[in-house]
């Protein structure tokens, strides 16, 4: 009962110290300093954090049963330990010591105690080990959030603050690794902080390790997806750089147009052949039987001219449609040396199937060979068309002028025959 009474009285004593006039002035000073000077990016090291450190330091101090004099130093160091953030976030501990020393000196505070306050603030550096109970309490209070369930939330605020003030962005993996390293190395110095906060700190460490594994797995998955996407983009880019579709379309359209022109030429030749054959059959069946009569002798010359023109027209029409097939005697060496166009049936009609299949595999695997074969096919098809239309033009020209000449000769012959008949009749 006596011990409980003493602890109860200690709580009253320490709470009275927090609420006395001197500490109220310190609190007001720190509040106004943060309000007016603290960068807006400092979302973690702000007045709320300082207030929580002061309250936690007070709580630990009660449990550790330190003296009134040491309590003053702990509380003052707690109020000022992050005040340097208002000047320089990188060296805020040193700036905090300057602010604390200037303020306490101005207030006439004891110099020895002021030095202890500054020494306690110095111990909050991560690279400095606390040397006494005062510094141990302040260090545990400053980092008490590592043993709270709200650690992830506090860690997120700290990350946002660091990234904003330093201008350096952290990946999830980098941040989780930093937290893992920090929590692994961190330790509580006071027995009270250890008993109350260490178990949750270990749970937080396990959570950080789990998050780190998830982040690594997610990053590997994203890297794999990016590599696939990168390969796809590279293939697409390579495909775009080589306009294969446009080239194929060009060959397809051009070859199709040439085949249409060839079909048109054959159709025109067939029409001319049909007309000539009809004329020839009529002439042979109607005119030739009448030529043996003396009265029809005048029809001999125009008929012979007409038949000759008809036959010549048919000959040129047949020549324009007559197919020409190459020998097809090519060897493997000719294929390897790219001397044969396997896309034309006339070049492989006498080749063994195995040689043809092997040659076609070479064509399909060699884009240049394939395009050159298409070029040859297009080129020689053009030569064939040129010959077709040239012969067809000759045939139509002969037929046109031949019909006109034949008609004129028929008229002349008829006029001569009529004049001769009238002359003979007048003589008789």
For residue 198, the model assigns a pLDDT of: 94
Does residue 239 surpass a pLDDT of 70? no
Query: Residue written as tokens 């936690």?
Result: 56
The CB density around residue 26, as the number of other CB atoms within 10 Å, is 20
Integer Cα distance of 73 and 116 in angstroms? 7
Number of neighbours of residue 422 by Cβ within 10 angstroms: 10
Q: Which two tokens stand for residue 110?
A: 């004891």
Going from the C-alpha of 151 to that of each of 58, 82, 169, 219, the distances in angstroms are 21, 19, 20, 24
CB count, 10 Å around CB of 251? 16
Q: Are 122 and 93 in contact (CB under 8 A)?
A: yes
Q: Residue 23 burial by CB count (10 A; 0-12/13-18/19+): exposed, middle or buried?
A: middle
Enumerate the domain spans of the chain.
2-142, 244-427
> Would the pLDDT of 10 be above 60?
no
- DSSP-derived secondary structure letter, 287: I
pLDDT in tens, 391-418: 888 888 888 888 888 888 878 877 777 7
Give the number of other Cβ atoms within 10 Å of residue 239's Cβ. 11
Q: In angstroms, what is the C-alpha Rg of the chain? A: 55
90, 97 contact by CB (below 8 A): no
Distance of alpha carbon 44 from alpha carbon 307, whole angstroms: 112
Torsion of CA 150, 153, 159, 160, to 10 degrees: -140
Out of 114-118, 130-134, 226-230, pick the least confident: 226-230
pLDDT in tens, 79-119: 999 999 999 988 899 999 999 999 999 999 999 999 999 99
Tokens matching residue 120: 């306690």
Residues 78, 50: contact at Cβ < 8 Å? yes
pLDDT, position 403: 82
Taking residues 218-245, what's their average pLDDT? 74
Taking the CA of residue 362 as centre, how many other CA atoms within 13 Å lie in the half-sphere pointing to its CB? Answer: 21
Look at the block and give the residue holding tokens 């147009």.
257
Q: Which residue is it, tokens 């000449």?
A: 405
Could you please report the per-residue DSSP string of 104-119? HHHTT--HHHHHHHHH
**DSSP code, position 342:** T
Distance of CA 260 to the CA centre of its chain: 42
Would you place residue 247 in the very low, low, confident or very high pLDDT band (cuts 50, 70, 90)? confident
320, 284, 302: which is closest to 403 by C-alpha? 302
* Total number of residues shown for the chain: 428
Task: Please check whether residue 303 is in contact with residue 287, taking contact to mean a CB–CB distance below 8 angstroms.
Answer: yes
C-beta contacts of 89-95 below 8 A and 24+ residues apart: 89/39, 89/42, 89/45, 89/165, 92/45, 93/121, 93/122, 93/124, 93/125
Residues 6 or more apart whose Cβ sits within 8 Å of residue 343? 363, 373, 374, 376, 377
pLDDT in tens, 36-50: 999 999 999 999 999
Q: What does pLDDT average to over the chain?
A: 81
Q: Could you say which DSSP state residue 168 is in?
A: -
Q: Between 421 and 375, whose confidence is greater? A: 375
CATH for 2-142 is 1.10.3210.10
| CA separation for the pair 392, 369 (Å, rounded) | 34
For residues 151 and 145, the answer to whether their CB atoms sit within 8 Å is yes
User: What pLDDT, on a 0 to 100 scale, did the predictor assign at position 184?
Assistant: 93
Instruction: Write the CA distances from 369 to 271, 337, 365, 366, integer angstroms.
Output: 40, 10, 8, 5
Tell me the C-alpha distance between 58 and 81, whole Å. Answer: 15
pLDDT higher than 50, residue 280: yes
Predicted confidence (pLDDT) per residue in 338-387, tens digit = 566 656 665 566 676 776 677 777 767 667 777 777 777 777 777 888 88
**Residues 134 and 122 sit within 8 Å (Cβ to Cβ):** no
Does pTM surpass 0.75?
no
The confidence score (pLDDT) of residue 1 equals 31
Residue 13 token pair: 């004593």
């Amino acid at each position: 009962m006596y011990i409980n009474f003493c602890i109860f009285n200690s709580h009253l004593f320490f709470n009275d110290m927090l609420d006395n006039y001197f500490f109220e002035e310190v609190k007001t000073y720190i509040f106004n300093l943060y309000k007016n000077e603290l960068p807006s990016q400092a979302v973690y090291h702000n007045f709320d954090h300082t207030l929580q450190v002061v309250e936690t330091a007070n709580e630990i101090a009660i449990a550790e049963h330190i003296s009134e004099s040491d309590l003053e130093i702990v509380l003052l160091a707690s109020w000022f330990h992050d005040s340097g953030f208002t000047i320089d976030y990188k060296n805020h501990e040193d700036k905090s010591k300057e602010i604390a020393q200037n303020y306490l000196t101005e207030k006439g505070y004891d110099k020895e105690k002021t030095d202890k306050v500054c020494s306690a603030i110095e111990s909050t550096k991560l690279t400095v080990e606390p040397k006494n109970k005062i510094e141990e309490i302040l260090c545990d209070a400053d980092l008490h959030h590592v043993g709270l369930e709200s650690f992830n939330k506090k860690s997120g605020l700290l990350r946002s603050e660091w990234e904003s003030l330093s201008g350096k962005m952290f990946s999830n993996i980098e941040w989780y690794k930093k937290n893992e390293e920090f929590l692994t190395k961190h330790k509580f110095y006071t027995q009270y902080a250890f008993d109350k906060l260490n178990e949750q700190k270990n749970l937080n460490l396990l959570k950080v390790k789990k998050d780190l594994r998830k982040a690594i797995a997610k990053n590997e998955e994203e890297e794999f997806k990016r590599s696939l996407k990168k390969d796809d983009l590279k293939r697409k880019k390579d495909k775009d750089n080589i306009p294969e579709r446009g080239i194929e379309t060009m060959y397809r359209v051009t070859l199709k147009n040439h085949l249409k022109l060839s079909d048109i030429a054959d159709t025109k030749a067939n029409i001319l052949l049909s007309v000539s054959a009809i004329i020839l059959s009529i002439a042979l069946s109607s005119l030739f039987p009448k030529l043996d009569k003396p009265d029809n002798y005048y029809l001999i010359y125009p008929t012979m001219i007409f038949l000759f023109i008809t036959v010549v027209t048919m000959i040129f029409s047949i020549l324009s449609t007559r197919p020409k097939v190459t020998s097809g005697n090519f060897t493997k060496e000719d294929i390897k040396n790219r001397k044969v166009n396997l896309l034309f049936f006339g070049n492989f009609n006498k080749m063994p199937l195995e040689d043809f299949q092997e040659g076609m595999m070479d064509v399909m695997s060699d884009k240049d060979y394939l395009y050159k074969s298409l070029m040859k096919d297009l080129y020689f098809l053009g030569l064939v068309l040129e010959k077709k239309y040239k012969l067809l033009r000759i045939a139509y020209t002969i037929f046109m002028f031949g019909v006109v000449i034949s008609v004129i000769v028929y008229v002349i012959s008829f006029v001569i025959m009529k004049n001769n008949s009238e002359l003979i009749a007048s003589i008789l």
